[in-house]
Amino acid sequence: MTNSIGEIRDADFLFVIGSNTSEAHPIIAMEMKRAVHRGATMVVADPRQIFMTTMAKKHLQIRPGSDVWLLNAMAHVIIAEDLVDHDFIQNQTENFAAVREAVRDYTPEKAEEVTGVSAEDIRWTARTYATTERAGIYYTLGITEHSHGTDNVYALANLVLMTGHLGKPSSGMNPLRGQNNVQGANDAGATPVFFPGYQLVVDDEVRRKYEASWGVPLPPEPGLNLNQMMKTLGKQLKGMFIMGEDIVLSEPNVAKVEEGLSSMEFLVLQEPFLNETARYADVIFPSTVFAEKEGVFANSERRVQLVRRAVQPPGEAREDWIILRDLAAALGAEWHYADAAEVYAEMVKDTPKFAGLSHARLERETLAGKTGIQWPCVSEDDPGTVYLHKNGVLRGKGLFTAVHYRPSEELPDHEYTLVLSTGRTLYHYNAATQTRREEGLFTKQGEAFIQIHPRDAKRRGIADEEMVTVRTRRGQVTCRAILSPQLRRGSIWMPLHFPEARANLLTNDAGDPVTQTAEFKVCAAEVERAETQPPRSGDGPTFRGSYYREPLPSEA
């Protein structure tokens, strides 16, 4: 996020795209709701009607995967009607001409044909965004989990740059991070291309610094990213260490992942629970959950906050940093850390962005009634950074990048006629290793389901709450159908949490060419009524979850 969470409530215009905020980021959604109650205008672009669309001034019910058309058409309108911020473009950006040229043919009328959003709504949204002073963009995996995810992000950034909505409170570009420490894991260098603090592995000077610090020669070539790892299991990759991820549930096209895992020579897991991936493990270390460990998480707004030990772990389970230190020792690397604070101190020593941070300082902040510090924080007396690009764009000039629409890798055809998107619900979390062990959440939402438009269901002879088989080219699962007019016709949606109906048996592992992020949001699928129809356990509509709208007679 270029802005902070606390700035959301003061925004006057919120453009929320590809984010089911009230389910995936409920507390950020509360801030958006506060802004709307205060009088802010919200526009939500999403293929489904979700809770946030009920509070929005407009819902742009976009066809999945057509975001570039929508965003380029908005840029087209802003340029055609001369609503751009000329000073900002002149002084703080480069390459605007390329985008102006690229979006010339993306007229709202043509965009309407591709996206399903009316030209009038596109114009209105573009104008209102461009002409509102405190206008922020909020997005998440609905933008990035596409084979053209990077293009989507560039198209959003172009809107931000041409309107100068950057480097100001409540006005910026805000990806909402999906997990507690996505930001921190990247900050810490758990990526194939960066050392900690986004210092490039291929940079000789950086590598020499780390070789001196760590006292060993280091490999100069970037490594494999996660999607590439999953595709080379058992081939190039013969051994693996996995900490805190159930790849057999979370990765796309898992049938292929499991095939690869079964031909691996050696697999080590470090987990608090046995998970699906454990079937393939040779060694499993029992690790700890957040309530049992010391350390820091960094949130969506780059805020580094302490995690404190509140209880002792069960049995012989150990804090993860201790296991890792001991594993390193067994591998022949003797590293001496007395506690997590020392590990952190070692990390910040070589990363200028975090140089002002330490556990002791974060503890002092808490005692002073504040919470955490937002990086960049370069020295002990640096208070941190509330919003980015305040004193001009960080890279010097904001770079416009012209992008063109590329269809999703797998589109519906006569055999698989529907578009399947997957996502998270309010009541569960990812592989549900934790939430599946929380009885109350299961009372509210206890089994896998797929959402389908009543008319699409009717054509297939499917009644509400019947079991259906969902098929794609990669696999099939069986789960219950919820008939809901919240969906676009031709689109279906299912959550990824349930081991009995693993959505990732269905998803496509085609990746974005730059990030390799997989296309979880679009693949071709077909649904049919299952032959056996076991009765539902429990009664009532409770398992429908967070937001559900009954079909109107005209929609049935």
Partner 1 sequence: MTQRPTLWLGDQEVAFEPGETLLEVARRHGKEIPTLCHDPRLKPAGACRTCLVEVEGSRRLLPACATPASKGARVTVESARVDRHRKSLLSLYLTDHPDQAAMRERKRPDELLAMAERYAAPTDWPKLDSLRAERKEDPNPYIDFDAAACILCARCTRYCDEIESVSAITLAGRAAETTISTADGRSLLDSSCEMCGGCIDTCPTGAMAEKRPIARKSKHEDELVKVRTTCNFCGVGCQLDLNIDPSARGGAGEVVKVTSPPVGTTTNDGNLCVKGRFAYDFIHHADRLTTPLVRGADGALVPATWEVALRRAADGLLGVRERHGADALAFVSSSRCTVEENYLVQKIARAAIGTNNVHQCAAT
Q: Which residue, 350 or 526, is less far from partner 1 as judged by CB?
A: 350
Q: Does 178 bind partner 1 (CB under 8 A)?
A: yes
Q: Does 464 bind partner 1 (CB under 8 A)?
A: no
Q: Kindly give, in sequence order, each residue whose CB lies less than 8 Å from that of residue 516, ignoring residues fewer than 6 positions away.
A: 225, 226, 227, 228
Strand partners, 235: none
Q: Is 44 helix (H, G, I), strand (E, B) or coil?
A: strand
Q: Does 139 bind partner 1 (CB under 8 A)?
A: no
Q: Measured from the CB of residue 11, what is the shortest distance to partner 1 in angstroms?
A: 16
Q: Does 201 bind partner 1 (CB under 8 A)?
A: yes
Q: Give the integer Cα–Cα distance in Å for 60 and 43.
A: 7
Residue 352 one-letter amino acid: P
Q: Kindly give, in sequence order, each residue whose CB lies less than 8 Å from that of residue 433, ignoring residues fewer than 6 positions away.
A: 246, 272, 273, 275
Residue list 73-132, contact with partner 1 (CB under 8 A): none
Q: Does 513 bind partner 1 (CB under 8 A)?
A: no
Work out the number of other CB atoms within 10 angstroms of the CB of residue 484.
24
Q: Which two tokens stand for residue 363?
A: 């503890």
Q: Which residue, 239 or 407, is less far from partner 1 as judged by CB?
A: 239
End-to-end CA distance of the chain: 41
Q: Which residue, 104 or 549, is less far from partner 1 as judged by CB?
A: 549
Q: Which residue, 158 or 508, is less far from partner 1 as judged by CB?
A: 508
> How many residues of this chain interact with partner 1, rule: CB under 8 A?
153
Q: Give the integer Cα–Cα distance in Å for 513 and 48.
A: 27
Residue list 215-244, contact with partner 1 (CB under 8 A): 216-219, 221-227, 229, 236-244
**Is the backbone of residue 389 left (phi > 0), alpha (psi -120 to 50) or beta?**
left
Q: Which residue, 286 or 490, is less far from partner 1 as judged by CB?
A: 286
Residue list 340-379, contact with partner 1 (CB under 8 A): 340, 343-344, 346-347, 366, 369, 371-372
Residue list 409-428, contact with partner 1 (CB under 8 A): 426-427
Q: Give the integer Cα–Cα distance in Å for 494 and 20.
A: 13
Q: Which residue, 304 or 403, is less far from partner 1 as judged by CB?
A: 304
Q: Which residue, 97 or 329, is less far from partner 1 as judged by CB?
A: 329
Query: Do 14 and 129 form a contact (C-beta atoms < 8 A)?
Result: no
Q: Measured from the CB of residue 269, what is the shortest distance to partner 1 in angstroms?
A: 9
Q: Which two tokens stand for residue 253?
A: 């096209």
Smallest Cα–Cα separation from 244: which of 294, 197, 190, 201? 190
Piece in contact with partner 1 (CB under 8 A), picked from 101-109, 409-417, 475-483, 538-546: 538-546
Piece in contact with partner 1 (CB under 8 A), picked from 41-49, 323-331, 482-490, 525-533: 323-331
Q: Does 434 bind partner 1 (CB under 8 A)?
A: yes
